[in-house]
Structure 1
Amino acid sequence: MNHAHKEVVGISMRVLIVEDNVTIQKVLEEYFRNKKITVQIIDSFSKFETLSSLNYDWALVDLDLEKELIGLQVVEALKDKVPSCVFSGHEELDLIKKAYDLGAIDYLVKPFTKNAMDALCERMSFNLSSKFDKEISSKLFISSPVFLEELKQMENSLLSKRPLLLLGETGVGKTHLAYLIHKTLYKEKDSFIHINCAELNESLLESELFGHAKGSFTGALEDKVGKIELAHGGTLFLDEIASISEKIQQKLLKVLEEGTFSRVGETKERKSDFFLISATCDSLESDVQNSKFRKDLYFRIKGLSLEIPALRGRKQDIEHYIQFKLINSARKILIDEEVMDKLFSYPWPGNMRELNGVLDKFLASLNARITSKELPSEILNYKKQSLELLVNKQLKEYAQEFGLASLVKLIEGQVVKNALLENKGNVRDTIRTLKISSNTFYRIMNFMEDRFEK
C-alpha cells in the first residue's frame, strides 16, 4: 500500500515558541497560522521566566537565546510540564543527548523544510493523543507516522473488540504489540491468553485450544480447560495462525461465528466471549488463494489488520532502542562508533528480537568497551547488496511503461525522501550524506511534490 504524505491541518493545539531570530519567528508564525495552530513567541530566557502560566500543548525551543545553550534551561524547566522539541543549529551528539536527558522529546536541526515541520507536528500530535498511542509508541519503538496513524485510527474499533490480525516479519514484535494493546485498552485483570499455533501438532493444538474431557484419548487423565475457555472476558492471542490445519480452522470458525465450542471428547456446548488477536509472518491472502486457509475464517480474523514495519532502515528506532537498553541496564558500557555504524547498516533479518539478542551479548561481554571484535560474524562481515541485485521485475516493468528517465527520477525522489527522514529533516546532512548539490536536492524535492499534487 502506498501512502502519500498527509498534510497536517486543523490540529487543535497551543504551541510556545522560544526563539530570538526575528526572521525565523515570522516563518514559524506563518507556518503555524496556516495550520490553524495558536502560538506564543518569546525571544529570551528572562521572558520565559516571567511566564505566569505554562498552558501549552508543546514548546519549540531554540538553544541559543541571550547566550549560547541557555535554551537547555528552558527545556529542563518544561520537563514533566510541557513536552518540548529542541530547534537548533547545533548538531553535536553530546548536546543532542543532553537535551534528551533534560527532558526534550524531539530534536530538529536548522535549516528546516516544510516537510520536516509537518512530520514534527505529526509526531507531537501523536504524543498529545490518548494513552493508547503513547503506550504503543514508547514501548514498541516504532516512530513511523504512517504506522502510528493507522494504529490510532483503529482505537475505537479495537475498543469494540473487533478481531485484529497482526502482520510482519519474524521478530518485529507482534506478541509484544498484542500484549500492549490488551493491557492498554482493557483492564489488566482480564486474561491475556497466548498460544503459538506452530509449536504443536494438530491433536495437541486442538486439546490446548478447546480443552478435553477425561478419557477422551490416551493420556487424557483428567478434564482440561482450553485456551478458548480461559480467554472468556479477556484476550486470546493466536500466534502463527497460518499454521493451523483445516480441522482446527473449521472449529475456530464456529467459535467466532456462534461463540460456542465443545471440548475434545464431549458434546456439551460451552460459551466463550473474547477479543481475538491473530498474528502471522506468512501471506494469508496467498494461502487463501492456494486453498491452504479458509476464506471465511480469513475474513473473520481480519476484522482489522495492522502490519508492523521491519527494523531495517529504521535507523532512528534502532538508535532509540539501543539508548533505552543501555540506560536501563545496571552495567554501563561504551559502544564504539564503528560498531554503531555496523548496527545501523545491518538489515536485521531477525528484527527487534535479533537486535535485543546482540545488545544482551554486549552487556554480558567481559569488555566494557564494545569494539568490532564483539560483533557477530554476520554483522561484522555484512556488505550491502549491489544495485544490480535490487533491479527487480517491478522496476523493469515501470521503465517499460513510463520510460527510464521517469524511473530514474522516481528512484532519486525515494532515496532523497528516505535520507531526509533518517536525518530528521536536516537538509544539510541529507545533501552531505548523498553527496549531491543543494540545487540537485531541491530539483528532486520539487519533482516529488509535483508528482503527489498530480
Structure 2
Amino acid sequence: MANILVVDDEKEICLFLRHLLSDKGHIVTICTSRQEFDQTKNDGTFDLAFLDVRLPDGNGLEILKDLKSIQPFCKVVVMTGYSTVKTAVEAIKLGAYDFIEKPFDDIGDIEQLTERLLTDGAVPSQDHVHDLAARIGCFIGQQEEMNQLFSLAYKFAQKNVTVLIEGETGTGKEVLAHFIHEASLRADYPFIGVNCGAISEHLLESELFGHTKGSFTGAAKDRKGFFELADKGTLFLDEIGEASLTTQVKLLRVLETGEFMKVGGETVLRSKSRVVAASHVDLHNAVSKGSFREDLLYRLDVVKLTIPPLRKRVQDIPLFIEDYLRRHGFKLMFTEETLELLMSYNWPGNIRELVNVIKRAVALAEGETSIITPEHLPQKITQHAPGVLETAAAISPAVPKSTGFDSFLDQWQQEIRDMWKSEDITELQLVLDSIKKLETETIQAFIDKSLRKTVGNRKKAVEGLGITMRKLRYYLNEKK
C-alpha cells in the first residue's frame, strides 16, 4: 500500500485514477488546483504523484519543483497531451521520472508504471544506462551534461514520440540514435539510417518511400523504401536539414498521418516505424531562411536532444582513448604529454576526428612501440599547443604514476607462495610457466619504463637498456 497524490483539474481523470489505484490498495489524495495542492502538500508523505502540467491557477513545472523540494523521494509522473510533450521534457529534467499522454490509451500501462515505480530497485540506475551504452559500443564518459543527456534519452526511448538530435558534425548523433533504438521497445526490430544530405532529391524520395516498376528510368522492379523496411523499428534521418522542400512535404505527411505512397505508386501504405532525426545545423535558423518547413520542424521537435561538442568535454578524452583501445584489443599507452596535447586541441571534427587521430597513432606505432608519444600525432594538433610538452615534462617527466607492474608482482608472489605452501605436489611445469610469465612481464615493464623516460625515443632507450635495436624489436613484437 502506498500514498499517491493526483493533481489534475479534470475531475473525470482524478476520479478514474482514484478508482484504478484504490482498487490496488493504495491511498489516493486528489487535488484539482494549485490552491488545493498548496493546502495538501504538507499533510503527509507521498510515495508517488501523478501531476498534470497544465492547471488553471498554476504552472505544473512550478508545482513539480515545489513537491520535489518538500519530498525529494516522491516519484513523479507528469500527465500531458501531445501539444505539451516538450513541457514533459522539461519536467523530467527537473526530476520527474516519467510522463504519460492523455487521453490514456491503455489502463494496463498505468498499472504497470505504478507498480514499477513503487517497487524497490525498479527505477533504472545510471549504471543501467552505462551498461547498455557499453554493450553497443557507445561512450558516455563522466561529464555531467553527457550523463544527463543519455539519462533523458533512455527515458524517452520507450515512448512513441519523435526525437530530434542536434549537434555539430562528428559528435555522434547516429550513435545516440542507435542507443535510443536499443533502449526502446523496438530493439528487436530494424534500425535503419539514411543520410539525407548524401543522396540526390530524386533518389532520396525513392530510398525513403520505395518505387514501383517503371516509375522512372532504371526502375526495373518494385522496390521497398526505408519506411517500409524499418517496419516497427527505428528510421534514423541524418542531416534532415539537407532534404529538399519537396521531400520535406512528404515527410510531414508520414509524421502526421503515418501514410505514404511509393514513387509511381497509387496505393497508400502505412508506416509503423519511429523517426529519429538529426541535424548539424540549427533548424530554427533554417526555417527563418526558408530552407526548412516550419510545420515539419514542429513535428520533429517533440523531444530535442543536443549533444555537446568534444571541446566542452575534453576531460573525458583520456577515458575515451582507454575505452577505444580496450574495445579494439590494442595494448598501447598514450603518454601524459600526448594526452595533454589532445586535451588542448579544439577538435572541430569532434569525436569522429579524435577516432581518426587515434587510428593514425596506432598505425604509426604498430610493430614499433607500445607507447604513443607526440611524435605519433598530426602536426595540426602539436602546432596548436606550443609549450605543452615542456610544461608537462616539467611537472611529470614522462613516467606515469602507475604502470600496473607493482600489482602484477604482488599477484605473482602470492601465486608462487601458494604453490610452495600447498600440501599437494605441484606440477613443475606450472612453476616454470609462472617463472616464464614473470620474465616476460618484467622485461616488458622495464622496456615500457625506458620508453616513457625517453618519450618514445628508441635509440636512447636501447642505450640505457644495454641492448641492440634488433633485440628491442624482438621484445616488443615477440615477447608481448
Distance 1:362 1:154 in 2: 33
Paired residue for 2:265? 266
8 Å Cα contact 2:129/2:150 also seen in 1: no
Paired residue for 1:135? 132
Paired residue for 1:355? 354
When normalised by structure 1's length, the TM-score is: 0.55
Aligned-residue Cα RMSD (Å) equals: 2.7
Distance 1:356 1:219 in 2: 39
Paired residue for 2:377? 375
Q: Match of 1:209, as an amino acid? A: L
Secondary structure of the equivalent of 2:310?
Answer: coil
Structure ranking higher on relative contact order (CA contacts 8 Å, 6+ apart): 1
Paired residue for 2:342? 343
Distance 1:141 1:176 in 2: 11
Larger Rg: 2
Alignment of 1:316-331 (within 5 A): 316-331=315-330
Paired residue for 2:223? 224
8 Å Cα contact 1:140/1:177 also seen in 2: no
> CA 1:291 to 1:352, structure 2 compared with 1: closer, same or farther past 3 Å?
same
When normalised by structure 2's length, the TM-score is: 0.52
Alignment of 1:426-437 (within 5 A): none
Deviations 1:304-338 (A, max 9, x none): 00000111141331111111122334332232222
Distance 1:256 1:182 in 2: 18
Is 1:240 aligned to 2:242, yes or no?
Answer: no
Is 1:165 aligned to 2:164, yes or no?
Answer: yes
Distance 1:319 1:200 in 2: 36
Is 1:196 aligned to 2:172, yes or no?
Answer: no
Distance 2:322 2:72 in 1: 31
Is 1:185 aligned to 2:184, yes or no?
Answer: yes
Paired residue for 2:77? none
Cα shift at 1:148 = 2.9
Paired residue for 1:449? none
Distance 1:250 1:338 in 2: 52
> CA 1:266 to 1:354, structure 2 compared with 1: closer, same or farther past 3 Å?
same
8 Å Cα contact 1:240/1:278 also seen in 2: yes
Query: Where does the alignment leave 5 or more consecutive residues of structure 2 unmatched?
Result: 1-64, 75-122, 387-480
Distance 1:381 1:156 in 2: 43
Paired residue for 1:16? none
Alignment of 1:32-181 (within 5 A): 128-129=125-126, 131-132=128-129, 134-136=131-133, 139-153=138-152, 155-181=154-180
> CA 1:225 to 1:316, structure 2 compared with 1: closer, same or farther past 3 Å?
same
Query: Where does the alignment leave 5 or more consecutive residues of structure 1 unmatched?
Result: 1-5, 14-125, 385-454
Distance 1:308 1:142 in 2: 13
Paired residue for 1:413? none
- For these two proteins, the number of residue pairs brought into alignment is 267
Distance 2:290 2:157 in 1: 29
8 Å Cα contact 1:313/1:347 also seen in 2: no
Paired residue for 2:454? none
Secondary structure of the equivalent of 1:131?
Answer: helix
Deviations 1:8-55 (A, max 9, x none): 977669xxxxxxxxxxxxxxxxxxxxxxxxxxxxxxxxxxxxxxxxxx
Distance 2:377 2:149 in 1: 36
8 Å Cα contact 1:131/1:184 also seen in 2: no
Q: Match of 1:262, as an amino acid? A: M
8 Å Cα contact 2:154/2:180 also seen in 1: no
Distance 2:187 2:124 in 1: 23
Distance 1:132 1:337 in 2: 30
Cα shift at 1:178 = 0.5
Distance 1:370 1:156 in 2: 39
> CA 1:132 to 1:243, structure 2 compared with 1: closer, same or farther past 3 Å?
same
- % same residue: 37
Q: Match of 1:380, as an amino acid? A: T
